[in-house]
Structure 1
Amino acid sequence: MTSTVEPSAINIDLQPGHAIRRLHQISVGIFLQETGELGITPVQYAALQTVGNQPGIDQRTLARTIALDASTTGGVVDRLEARGWLVRRTAPEDRRARQLALTPAGQALLAEAVPAMLRAQDQILAPLTERQRSEFMRLLNLLVTQNNEMSRAPSDATR
């Protein structure tokens, strides 16, 4: 039996999806404030950091690792390559696959971006105590992991 709730009885501010969307807006705003002069977005940062951590990663694996669909990842890689931060090379074992690597300029940008990204993370979590931060991250990662398959672009990183 399904209960009926009057639409006027719903307080949007008490809905988890709304709060998560708002926190995402805030997170992006803080990230862009901290990294403003670098001209990098959170998704571009994730791509650069992942390529920096895994030189030679192919574009499909990058997409699965940072939970983006293939066409969005292609656009991100195009923009990073156009800015001289990333290069694509044909994979020797599969000529259809493109391996990614940071350029020296990409490595320098990433080195500049990391402190700004860390400041942004600290600012996002600033209202919480250390214990609350730990618990928040534990619960957040639980929600992401347990709901990963419901994503339009599931991440391989959470498996």
Structure 2
Amino acid sequence: MQRTTPMSDLELEIDTQPATLIRRLNQIAVARFTSTMSAAQLDLTPVQYAALSALEAHPGVDQATLATHVGYDRATLGKVVERLEAKTLLIREVDPRDRRARCLRITQNGAQLLSKVHPLVEALQPRILDGLTAAERKELIRLLEKATRAQFSVSRETEQA
């Protein structure tokens, strides 16, 4: 059977889909983050950075709340927490309000690491959107925030299933 649509047309359709573009931009962001951490000789992944940053802003939250803050499911975040705990970057403590529950807090090592990483991540942000003007970057971020807020419940559906 002969192809009726040239491959370039098929690629164009895929390449203009929001999901494809967002996934590719995420790949770029992860690659740049990984490269930046490697150059600084720091052993930290994007999700580990997100978890530590969220704990810095919300110390003492439980794992489920942390998962909500960083947008990951509880199972995935559980593994991230285990790795961060093994690296002595966070600790689990008994929740004084509910002895069965555990609160998460960053350690001094975690806080020191974040003090090194925050400026690197801040400097990295414009590079993720290379090719856009400052005004275009601001507008893209505004639109991504709007779309994310509008779809927030969808990301929670998979967690509850």
TM-score (norm 2): 0.86
Higher relative contact order (CA 8 A, sep 6+): 1
| 1:12 and 2:14 matched | yes
**Which runs of 4 or more aligned residues in structure 1 lie more than 6 Å from their structure 2 counterparts after TM superposition?**
none
TM-score (norm 1): 0.87
Q: CA deviation at 1:17?
A: 1.0
Q: CA deviation at 1:150?
A: 1.6
Match of 2:128 among 124, 144, 159: 124
Equivalences, count:
149
Q: Which residue of 1 aligns with 2:116?
A: 112
Cα deviations by residue, 1:23-79 (Å, 9 ceiling, x for unpaired): 110010011111122110110000000111111111111011111111111111100
C-alpha change, 1:145 and 1:153, in structure 2 (3 Å) is farther
Separation in structure 1 between the aligned mates of residue 100 and residue 153 of structure 2, nearest angstrom: 27
Match of 2:142 among 123, 133, 138: 138
Percent identity between the two aligned chains = 42
Residue identity in the other structure for 1:69: D
Q: Which residue of 2 aligns with 1:149?
A: 153
SS of 2:44's equivalent in the other structure is coil
Separation in structure 2 between the aligned mates of residue 129 and residue 101 of structure 1, nearest angstrom: 38
Do 1:64 and 1:153's aligned partners in 2 also have CA atoms closer than 8 Å? no
Q: Which residue of 1 aligns with 2:90?
A: 86
Unaligned segments of structure 1, at least 5 residues? 1-5, 155-159
Q: Which residue of 1 aligns with 2:30?
A: 28
SS of 1:97's equivalent in the other structure is strand
Separation in structure 1 between the aligned mates of residue 159 and residue 141 of structure 2, nearest angstrom: 21
Residue identity in the other structure for 1:19: L
Q: CA deviation at 1:126?
A: 3.1
Residue identity in the other structure for 1:145: R
TM-align CA RMSD: 1.8
Q: Which residue of 2 aligns with 1:157?
A: none
